[in-house]
């Protein structure tokens, strides 16, 4: 049965339409019970958690299938719960009964295995609101990994890390206190003596086996010598790049008995964070229930479904699952959260409350050009551009910047007939200043080599890693010809390089396009900048599911002067070249449906003709514009 929720997002309907009666009878563990209670709406949960629960139930049904080499080990699940029951809460100094959502998390991490008995989920992404005990879950898992899972092994490393030294020290201290309490209980008391367990200031080491837990911060940049059975990264959402993550995961590849990486965090202000991009990717993977992509990745996200729920306290259990501990706890925690929200409103820091307490991603800065939700909602992967009229914008790179070509396709809504605009882009990626394409990917936080395979970018073919203008020029002509595009306008920023002049003059010679230098000043860019912003807000723009474009749109901030607005960026390493190119295209594309638009303005028609077309038009003035390009497409 093929279930695809990428368009409908109707996980409730898919659950009702699927017969889970046999699974309900066979699997009565608390991890599975949580899934049934969520999908039966006995426990409040957001869309992402419903997807995770549905995925678990479907995976239970898939066991035994040839393309699904995993099984759910109930013995391991029961053992995990038994161990977790003796681990004390650090603040209260005594074990606390785990809620179903906490048991579900531990069951997913530990219970799912491959057919060799190794852990299925090597990459674990866990996100929940502030103060919900995610650190406790990480601590339980680390204590279990050291004291139980690697009993007969020697020379094993376990890593605790975070962005700063203070953050990693906090999580390490939490784990150390947990372990200190657990080894007072048999059989772990005896085990600690036999292995020479020593709880030191900066590491926990078993002197006999040489197994050790060590801590390090991301800023220290010393991951490359590690080979960790279990690595836990706290507050991962604060990272703007994963450029050092591979130093952790690469060292795990050959680790026995198993290896796992657990990333935990709440939401942060910057939605371009790779932690958030992982959530978006995993959402789509879980929605494509039939696909085996991402089978080794676990994604558990307790979050609100929209910013509107900021004012609906009755829904806050989605991001704050501890609210469901008891009626008394629900009232206490809800009242406290309401006070925090109201104080945030007074202090103009509501975004922080939405980030941390409701686990919602959004831009912190009020100067942000576009809203995350508007950018995400604009995706239309099925739009067909072939044979359409279009407006092009061009932003040639300087130094480490990318070169971008923006496409704007005006069209009318199929139902209402209202004007709409579909946008696309293609970027050319230099790597000279970064030193290599790998370094460039880490610097920009984008997997360019993968995105190139999807057609969203081209990594420069120049041996020195600089932009190759001939490659750019030929790509533009080939793309227009391949899709039979009717180019009405080509707008560009002439500032930068003589190469821009070469490209635009050759296009002017070899095409019938109206090619115009768009002055990069507020008086010229203010209107198209505002137009694109409002078109996103009102749902008049659609786009491809293109990570290069998405990151550029979310990187852009507003720069305002007395005349109007322009887009800018907060840091040199943030890329907004795509936005600049699209605004150049909208310079004329925004007027497409107006009487004075280029396509309707007869006074500009002759400007867009070749000499032969002018002659044909003069002899037959009713003929309109003619297409066709010159056969000479070389500029070098």
Instruction: Assess if residue 6 is contained within a domain.
Output: no
Alpha-carbon distance 435 to 460, whole Å?
13
Helix (H, G, I), strand (E, B) or coil at 397: coil
Residues 240 and 112 in one domain: yes
Instruction: Assess if residue 327 is contained within a domain.
Output: yes
CB 605 within 8 A of CB 576: no
Residues 324 and 286 in one domain: no
Residues 33 and 95 in one domain: yes
The candidate with the shortest Cα–Cα distance to 457, out of 477, 471, 443, is 471
Residues 172 and 290 in one domain: yes
Give the contacts of 493 (CB within 8 A, at least 6 positions apart).
394, 395, 396, 500, 517, 518, 520, 580, 584
Count the Cβ atoms, other than its own, within 10 Å of residue 203.
16
How many residues can be counted in the chain? 636
Alpha-carbon distance 84 to 589, whole Å?
61
Range of the domain at 398: 372-619
The candidate with the shortest Cα–Cα distance to 282, out of 267, 268, 297, 271, is 297
The first and second tokens of residue 82, run together, are 């038994």
What's the predicted TM-score (pTM) here? 0.74
Strands 211-217, 157-162: pairing is parallel
Residues 515 and 545 in one domain: yes
Specify the pLDDT at position 363.
65
Residues 290 and 380 in one domain: no
Which portions of the chain are predicted below pLDDT 50?
624-636
Instruction: Assess if residue 366 is contained within a domain.
Output: no
Residue 461 vs residues 188, 305, 406, 432: alpha-carbon distances, Å:
59, 43, 21, 12
Specify the pLDDT at position 32.
98
User: Residue 69 burial by CB count (10 A; 0-12/13-18/19+): exposed, middle or buried?
Assistant: middle
Residues 92 and 44 in one domain: yes
The C-alpha angle with vertex 423 and arms to 418 and 425, in degrees rounded to 5, equals: 175
Give the contacts of 139 (CB within 8 A, at least 6 positions apart).
87, 90, 171, 174, 175, 178
CATH number for position 56: 3.40.50.300
Residues 75 and 147 in one domain: yes
Residues 474 and 526 in one domain: yes
Specify the pLDDT at position 567.
84
Residue 80 vs residues 29, 49, 119, 183, 528: alpha-carbon distances, Å:
12, 21, 13, 17, 58
Three-class DSSP labels, 442-497:
HHHCCCHHHHHHCCCEEECCCCCCCCCHHHHHHHHHHHHHHCCCEEEEEEECCCCC
């Amino acid at each position: 049965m093929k279930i695809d929720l990428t368009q409908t997002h109707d996980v409730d309907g898919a659950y009702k339409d699927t017969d889970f009666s046999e699974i309900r009878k066979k699997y009565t563990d608390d991890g599975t019970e949580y899934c049934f209670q969520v999908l039966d709406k006995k426990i409040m949960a957001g869309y992402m958690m419903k997807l995770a629960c549905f995925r678990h139930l479907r995976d239970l049904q898939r066991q035994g299938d040839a393309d699904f080499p995993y099984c759910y080990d109930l013995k391991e699940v029961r053992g995990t719960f038994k161990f977790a029951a003796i681990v004390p809460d650090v603040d209260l100094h005594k074990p606390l009964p785990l809620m179903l959502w906490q048991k579900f998390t531990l069951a997913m991490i530990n219970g799912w295995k491959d057919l060799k008995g190794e852990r299925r989920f090597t990459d674990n992404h866990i996100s929940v609101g502030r103060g919900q005990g995610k650190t406790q879950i990480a601590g339980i898992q680390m204590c279990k990994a050291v004291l139980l899972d690697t009993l007969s092994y020697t020379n094993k490393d376990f890593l605790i890390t975070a962005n700063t030294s203070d953050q990693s020290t906090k999580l390490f201290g939490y784990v150390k206190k947990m372990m200190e309490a657990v080894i007072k209980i048999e059989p772990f008391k005896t085990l600690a003596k036999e292995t020479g367990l020593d709880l030191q200031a900066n590491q926990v080491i078993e002197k006999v086996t040489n197994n050790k837990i060590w801590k390090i911060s991301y800023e220290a940049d010393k991951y490359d010598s590690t080979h960790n059975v279990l690595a836990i990264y706290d507050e991962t959402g604060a990272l703007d790049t994963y450029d050092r993550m591979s130093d952790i995961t690469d060292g795990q590849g050959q680790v026995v008995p198993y290896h796992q990486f657990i990333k935990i965090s709440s939401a942060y202000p910057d939605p371009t964070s790779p932690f958030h991009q992982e959530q978006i990717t995993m959402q789509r993977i879980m929605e494509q229930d039939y696909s085996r992509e991402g089978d080794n990745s676990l994604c558990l996200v307790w979050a609100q479904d929209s910013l509107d729920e900021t004012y609906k306290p009755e829904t806050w259990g989605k991001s704050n699952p501890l609210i469901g501990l008891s009626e008394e706890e629900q009232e206490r925690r809800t009242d406290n959260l309401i006070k925090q929200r109201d104080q945030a409103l007074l202090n103009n820091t509501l975004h922080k409350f939405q980030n941390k307490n409701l686990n919602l991603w959004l831009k912190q800065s009020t100067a942000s050009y576009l809203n995350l939700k508007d950018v995400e909602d604009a995706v239309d992967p099925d739009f067909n551009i072939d044979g359409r009229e279009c407006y092009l914008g061009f932003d040639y790179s300087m130094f480490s910047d990318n070169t971008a070509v923006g496409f704007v396709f005006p069209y009318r809504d199929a139902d209402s007939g209202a004007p709409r605009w579909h946008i696309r882009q293609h970027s050319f990626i230099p790597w000279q200043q970064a030193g290599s394409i790998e370094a460039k990917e880490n610097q920009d936080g984008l997997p360019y080599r993968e995105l190139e395979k999807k057609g969203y970018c081209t990594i420069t073919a120049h041996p020195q890693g600089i932009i190759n203008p001939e490659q750019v020029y030929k790509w533009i002509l080939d793309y227009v010809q391949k899709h039979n595009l009717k180019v009405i306008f080509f707008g560009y920023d002439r500032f930068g390089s003589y190469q821009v002049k070469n490209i635009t003059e050759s296009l002017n010679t070899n095409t019938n396009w109206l090619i115009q230098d768009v002055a990069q000043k507020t008086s010229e860019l203010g209107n198209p900048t505002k137009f694109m912003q409002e078109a996103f807000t009102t749902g008049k723009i659609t786009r491809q599911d293109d990570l290069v474009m998405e990151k550029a749109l979310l990187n852009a901030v507003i720069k305002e002067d007395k005349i109007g607005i322009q887009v800018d960026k907060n840091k040199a390493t943030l890329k907004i070249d795509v936005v600049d190119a699209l605004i150049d295209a909208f310079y004329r594309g925004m007027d497409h449906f107006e009487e004075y638009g280029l396509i309707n303005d007869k006074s500009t028609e002759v400007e867009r003709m070749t000499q032969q077309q002018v002659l044909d038009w003069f002899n037959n003035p009713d003929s309109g514009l003619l297409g066709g390009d010159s056969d000479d497409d070389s500029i070098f």
